[in-house]
Structure 1
Amino acid sequence: MEQILVVSALENTYATLVQFLVSCGVQAQMFPAFSGAEARRALVDRDFDLVLVNAPLSDEFGHELAQTAAHRSLAGVLLLTKAEIADAVSEKVEDDGVFVLPKPLNRALMHQALRMARAARSRLTGLQSENRRLQKRIADIRLVDRAKCVLIECCGMSEPDAHAYIEKQAMDRRQTKCEIAEDILRGQEK
C-alpha cells in the first residue's frame, strides 16, 4: 500500500486534503505532519511514495521542504500553493522534480499530478536499482584486478596469464571470479 506524507499547517486542512485524495480514488496510508521540521523528521524515519506539501506551513513556506524531499527520497513531491504565486514557485522548484499545483484544487489536475508523480518515482526507483547494479559490478572488477596485480607481483605472471588463471580457477572450482579473487587476496595477506 502506498504511503503518503501530507504536510499542512492545520489539522482541519490536513483532514480536508485526505478527504480530497480519497475522493480522487487514492488508496494509501496517510501520515500527517504539521510543520516543515516535523515533516523532515518523518522523511528520515520512513520512506514515502508521495509527499504532499500544502504551503504555507507554520515554520516555513514549504518550497524548501519540497526540494529537500525531492533530493533526499525517491518520493514524488507535490507542492500546493495559491494560484497567484504558483508560476513563480514552480520556477524555483521544478528543476528539483517538484510538481506545483495551484489552489483551489480540482480532481482532473490532481489525477494528472498523481500519475506524473508515480511515473517519476517509478523511473527514479529503476535508475537507483541500475546504479546499485553498476556499483556492484565496478567493485567486482576492482577486486579481480587487485587479485591480478597480486598474481603479477608475486607469481611473475603476465596480465593475460593472471586473467586466464582466475577464470580457469573459477570454472574448475565452480565459483565466481570474485570468490577466487578473494581467496587470492586472503592468501597474499598470509
Structure 2
Amino acid sequence: MPGVLIASDRQHHEALRCVFAANGQPVRCCTSAGEARRALCDGDFSLLIVNAPLPDEFGRDLAAQAVHDGLDSILLCAAPQADKVAAGLEKYGVYVLPNPLSRQQAMFALRVIRTGRQRMRRILEQNVRLTKRLDEARVVSQAKCVLARCCGMTEEQAHHAIEKRAMDARVSSREAALEILKNYE
C-alpha cells in the first residue's frame, strides 16, 4: 500500500503523522527537502505533505516535483502566505493549506484529493478504452485500403470481408485486419 511522506521540522512530525495517517497507510517523516527527495526515489508513496518552510528550501519545488512524478501533494504554509503560494502552485496541481491546520481541514483536504484521484482514474480508464477503439479503427481502415487497392473492392465490400474473416477465424476485427495487412504488404 502506498504511503504518506511528510517533510517537516522534527517538532511537527508526530502531529502531522496523526492528522495525515489515514486508512492505515504507512507514514515516513523527513526533516529536509533533500531527504524527502531521496525517500521519494526509494519508497512507494501516494501523498507528500510539505510543512513549509524546510531548512534547505521553502518546499514549493519539492511539492511541484512530487505532483509531476504522480503523487498528490499538500503544502502547508503560514496563513498570511497561503493565498500567494497557492496562486503559484495551482498550475502544478499542488494543494496549499494554511497553517495552523485543524484536523477537520486536513480530513476535508484528504477527501477532496481522494475524490479527484477517483475521477482521474475513471478518465484514464476511459482514455485507454478510447485509444484501443481508435487503434482498432485505424488498423481496420488500413486493411480496407489494402483490400481496395489490391483486390479492387469497395469500402463496403472490404469492411464485409474483414468482418467475415474475423467471424470465421473467431478473432477480433483488429486481428483479422492485421492478418490482411501482413498478407498483402
| TM-score normalised over the length of structure 2 | 0.86
Deviations 1:65-89 (A, max 9, x none): 222323331x332111111211111
Name the SS for the 1:130 alignment partner: helix
CA-based RMSD: 2.3
One-letter amino acid of the counterpart of residue 31, structure 1: R
Query: Do residues 55 (structure 1) and 52 (structure 2) align?
Result: yes
| Structure 1 gaps, min length 5 | none
One-letter amino acid of the counterpart of residue 62, structure 1: G
Does the CA-based 8 Å contact 1:69-1:77 persist in structure 2? yes
Counterparts of 1:153 and 1:41 in 2: how far apart (Å)? 58
| Structure 2 gaps, min length 5 | none
Counterparts of 1:39 and 1:133 in 2: how far apart (Å)? 36
One-letter amino acid of the counterpart of residue 20, structure 2: L
Aligned residues: 185
Q: How far off its partner does 1:108 sit?
A: 1.0
Large movers: runs of 4+ above 4 Å = 40-47
Distance 1:46 1:128, change over 3 A: farther
Does the CA-based 8 Å contact 2:86-2:95 persist in structure 1? yes
Distance 1:26 1:174, change over 3 A: closer
Distance 1:143 1:123, change over 3 A: same
Name the SS for the 1:157 alignment partner: coil
Equivalent residue, structure 2, for 1:30? 27
Equivalent residue, structure 2, for 1:129? 125
| TM-score normalised over the length of structure 1 | 0.84
